[in-house]
Amino acid sequence: MSSAKIECVLRENWCCGESPVWEEASNSLLFVDIPAKKVCRWDSLSKQVQQVTVDAPVSSVALRQSGGYVATVGTKFCALNWEDQSAVVLATVDKDKKNNRFNDGKVDPAGRYFAANRRSVYKLEKEEQIPDGMCIDVEGKLWVACYNGGRVIRLDPETGKRLQTVKLPVVKITSCCFGGKDYSEMYVTSARDGMDPEGLLQQPEAGGIFKITGLGVKGIPPYPYAG
Active site residues: 132
For residue 88, the cross-strand partners are 79
The response to whether 137 counts as a known ligand-binding position is no
Residues sharing a CB contact under 8 Å with residue 146, sequence separation 6 or more, in sequence order:
124, 129, 130, 131, 132, 152, 153, 173
The answer to whether 103 is annotated as binding is: yes
Q: Which of 210, 204, 64 is nearest to 77 (CA)?
A: 64
DSSP for residue 171: S
Sign of the dihedral through C-alpha 170, 171, 175, 179: positive
Give the residue among 2, 37, 5, 1 at the shortest CA–CA distance from 186. 5
Residue 108 marked as a ligand binder: no
Q: Which residues contact 197 (CB under 8 A, 6 or more apart)?
A: none
- Residue 23 annotated as binding? no
**For residue 120, what is the DSSP state?**
-
Answer positive or negative: Cα dihedral of 223, 87, 72, 20: positive
| Opening angle at CA 28, ends 145 and 172, nearest 5 | 25
**123 class by beta-carbon count within 10 Å (0-12 exposed, 13-18 middle, 19+ buried):** exposed
Annotated binding site for substrate: 101, 103
Annotated binding site for a divalent metal cation: 18, 132
